[in-house]
Each structure stands twice: as structure tokens, then as C-alpha cells.
Amino acid sequence: MEKQSSAGIDNQPSASDHFMPSLEASIERLSALSEIGRDPEARKIFLQFRDALTQGKIRAAEKSGRRWTVNAWVKQGILLGFRLGELSEMSDGHGLSFIDKDTFPARRFAVRDRVRLVPGGSSVRLGAYVAPSVVCMPPMFINVGAYVDEGTMIDSHALVGSCAQVGKRVHLSAGAQVGGVLEPINALPVVIEDDVLVGGNCGIYEGTLVRARAVLGAGTILTRSTPLYDTVRDEIYRATAEAPLEVPENAVVVPGARAVSKGKAADWNLSLYTPVIVKYRDEKTDRRIELEDFLR
């Protein structure tokens, strides 16, 4: 049995859409201008927007019930920042220098932020929300528009892409890549809900939705074009034009393969990669993946 994702992309007004209605209207007005630099208020409005984004007061996507809503105007604001920005020399204060748009410099944390940013070359852009108690192991990178919630650990060489939404107590293991979806503005970004374990060298791309408490085994790759085979429920999950690929709650996913049945590939006994759900999370799974609290 094949099952298509039910997550959907909801562009209806949501909490963030009404958090700062005047700011939203200003961002939409500025985004429509062909020559943005001529508006003397443009940079002031953008900086107000960026502060709200960094503080988590607005976000690129948010959950209402079981549905995730895209806040297209927030994405417009991020793109506006790139249009307004000018290349600038930047320094981390420890001898390293960078060249980037001056509208999105690297974020500096203070002890009051309660974010553990371990030394070793990590970087977080302004415009990304990182909640208290998040742990960042070096080197890792969090891009603009991302939202990383409390208790999450981002391990070495992990990426949180632009606008990606990462829930509470998530563990992104070493080398995990969480792609970002900034454009098109109405597209759902990658979403990882609470208590998910993402194994080493996993890749989650193109707006994939990973539901709460799922476990992705090392090396698992998820994209819009990748079918997900559920050997427990005898179902196949696929993305649609309206909805992304969705990993069910508590699913344990590992890399797998499916045989090619036609043409020369069949003669050569070739197979194609596919992720496979081999079980659903239970007490034995929880014991194997439990992280000690003191590590956080």
C-alpha cells in the first residue's frame, strides 16, 4: 500500500503572521520594491525584523495542531536582508576573518543566553534562533532563519540550514546535514520535531518532515524524491506536490536498497538506495539511544 504525506503546506494566517502586523506589512512592501536601496527606512525595518527572528519572536514555519504553517513573509524578510546587504570584512575576534553580507554577520553569545558554544570553529548567523540549553559541538553551522529549540545537541560537522525548524531535545549527530529551504517562499522548510535522534552522516533535505521521537540510523538520506518503505505497516510514504515526505512518529529508519526490475540495471542485479522503517521506537530503542543529561 502506498501512502502519501498528510503534513500539507498551510499558508493560512498563523500566530507569527499576527505577532507584528506592522512589521509584516513593512516587509511585504519593501520586498515588492524594485530598487530597495532608495527607501531610507529599509535597513531600520530589516534590523527590527532580524532582531525578532534572532529572539524567536517570529519564525519561518510553526506548528498548529499537527500541521506546519509556512510564514512566507518571514522568508521574504530574510531575502530582503540579502538584497540590502553589502559585502563586508568581518572578524571573529580571534584572528579569523570572513567576507559576507553585513546584514547577516556571525552571532555572538553571552552567558545569559545559556547556549553552550564549545570552542573549535562553529558559527551561528544572526537571524537564527538558538534556545537556552542548546549545545553546539565544534565545528558546526546554523544558518539564518533556523529555529533550534531547547535541549537540542548539534554535534561536530553538523549543519542546520536556512529556515530549518528543529524541535526540543533533538540530537543531530556528527556530520548530519539538515538542508534549508529558503526559496520558494511558500515551501515548507525541513522540520524535525521533538525528541528525534538523527544519526551520523544523515541528510534531511527538501522540506522533509520528521515527526516526534523518530530515529534515523546513521547514513539515512531523506529527500522529496525518496520513497520511504515501512516494513512494519506495509506502506510506502512519498512526497506530493502539496506535501513533503513525512517520517511517522516513533519510526526507526535505516538505509536500505530496492532491486531494479527493468532494463540493463536488472540484468546487472543493480539496486537503488531507499530509506526503510524497520521498527517503531520501544523501551529497548530508548535505552540504546539515551543521552546522559550531564553531556548537555
Beta bridge partners of 172: 154, 198
* Fold exhibited by the domain 8-88: 1.10.166
Q: What is the pLDDT of residue 12?
A: 44
**What ranges do the domains of the chain cover?**
8-88, 106-281
End-to-end CA distance of the chain: 41
Beta bridge partners of 161: none
Which CATH code fits 106-281? 2.160.10.10
Confidence of residue 30 (pLDDT cuts 50, 70, 90): very high
Q: What's the rounded mean pLDDT across residues 163-182?
A: 96
Strand, helix or coil for residue 89:
strand
Q: What is the pLDDT of residue 180?
A: 86
Cis amide bond preceding 132, omega within 30:
no
Beta bridge partners of 2: 236
Q: How far apart are CA 102 and CA 90, in angstroms?
A: 8
Of 230 and 96, the structure prediction assigns the larger pLDDT to: 230
Relative to beta strand 97-101, strand 87-91 is: antiparallel
Confidence of residue 291 (pLDDT cuts 50, 70, 90): low
Residues 129-140: b if buried by 16+ CB within 10 A, e if exposed: bbbebbbbbeeb
Strand, helix or coil for residue 101:
strand
